[in-house]
């Protein structure tokens, strides 16, 4: 079922929306080989230092683009999220003709300037990367937020952070056995 804004789209845009909605997964070649890059993003984020995080995120972005056979995107990591009455801006993808596409992601919350949780950060990065992939991989003329778009984002996340991937050295089953539980910091949609 399309989102409410679907009815306000032109017939051509509705066709693109349906095309986007029809693609629910993206398969990354050898995603397990990206584990060190994902770990580097996690470590850099935990350090709270901007430059190492930008470097680690850019390396992950380049590797994902290479494995999906698309042009790379320029990654910028910014400090505190901008906010307004509508909420906080988590990430932004921009692409102007003749220029290299740019993906921006913010690493700190607006209100308290705290470093965001790893899963939230990674999902935001992948969300913006999916806009890039809509244009570069799927060759769509528009990148709409569709159910298929959010499924693609989740498919990338699940390939990079499988459910059994250790968090702090333990699998989720081991954490549950040890009484530590597992917190999911994935933002609601």
Q: What is the span of the domain harbouring residue 57?
A: 25-163
Domain-embedded: residue 139: yes
Domain count, the chain: 1
Q: Report if residue 135 sits inside a domain.
A: yes
Q: Is the pLDDT of residue 173 over 70?
A: no
Q: Does 60 fall in a domain?
A: yes
In a domain, 136, yes or no: yes
Statement: residue 180 has pLDDT above 60: no
User: Does the residue 56 lie in any domain?
Assistant: yes
Q: Which two tokens stand for residue 145?
A: 């937020």
Structure confidence at residue 167 as a pLDDT band (50, 70, 90): low
Tell me if 178 is assigned to some domain: no
Is residue 181 domain-resident? no
CA distance 174 to 97: 50
What are the phi and psi torsion angles at 66 (to 5°)?
Answer: -60, -45
Give the residue-averaged pLDDT of 58-80: 97
Helix (H/G/I), strand (E/B), else coil: 170 = strand
Residue 72 lies in a domain: yes
- Tell me which residue has tokens 């906010």: 83
Give 96 or 26, the one with higher predicted confidence. Answer: 26
């Amino acid at each position: 079922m399309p989102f409410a804004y679907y009815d306000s789209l032109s017939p051509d845009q509705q066709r693109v929306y349906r095309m986007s909605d029809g693609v629910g997964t993206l398969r990354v070649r050898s995603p397990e080989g990206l584990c060190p890059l994902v770990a580097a993003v996690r470590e850099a984020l935990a350090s709270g230092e901007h430059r190492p995080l930008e470097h680690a995120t850019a390396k992950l972005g380049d590797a994902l683009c290479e494995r999906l056979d698309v042009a790379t995107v320029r990654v910028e990591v910014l400090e505190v999220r901008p906010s307004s009455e509508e909420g906080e801006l988590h990430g932004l993808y921009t692409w102007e003709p003749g220029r290299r596409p740019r993906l921006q992601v913010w690493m700190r919350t607006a209100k308290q300037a705290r470093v965001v949780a790893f899963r939230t950060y990674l999902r935001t990065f992948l969300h913006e990367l999916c806009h890039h992939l809509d244009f570069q991989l799927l060759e769509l003329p528009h990148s709409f937020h569709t159910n298929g778009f959010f499924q693609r984002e989740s498919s990338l996340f699940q390939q990079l952070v499988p459910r059994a991937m250790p968090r702090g050295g333990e699998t989720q089953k081991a954490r549950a056995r040890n009484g530590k539980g597992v917190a999911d910091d994935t933002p609601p949609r």
